[in-house]
Amino acid sequence: MTSIIPILILQGVGDAILQSKANKIAKNKVLLMNGSWDRETHGMSASDFINAIYEALKYSMLYGQNKKKKDYHKIDIESVKPSSFITHVIFLRDRSRIPINTKAITDAGIECVPVDNDAKNVDEYDLDDMYRKLRVIG
């Protein structure tokens, strides 16, 4: 997480993701979970990943582009939900080392999308299945 969090907390990143639209149609915002932990994320669950990303993006909205620290954000940041930043979570269907609490994630308004494991390396995604799932997500 230490490699992505410094990017997410940059001023305006949360605003850009929150407002990302193409032709006035909201875009899906997909989080692709790792197949296993790395040195920075050992012990984290999918919900922990989502929360860390969510908090970093909210922080980036405190003082966005062309705003002064004394100004307040036009959006009530506390009313922004995790599903505003992440619409789908893709994860390994079987033997994921990262705990995936699908009920908690779907209760937060985020769709859970399981993808088959690669036949040769169970810590990796089956790319054909992932491609199919991404096409459905749009």
Q: Is the pLDDT of residue 138 over 90?
A: no
Q: What is the DSSP string of 92-118?
A: ESSS-SS---HHHHHHTT-EEEEEPBP
The tally of domains found in the chain comes to 1
**pLDDT tens, position by position, 32-86:** 998 777 777 788 899 999 999 999 999 888 865 555 555 545 666 777 899 999 9
Domain that holds residue 12: 5-137
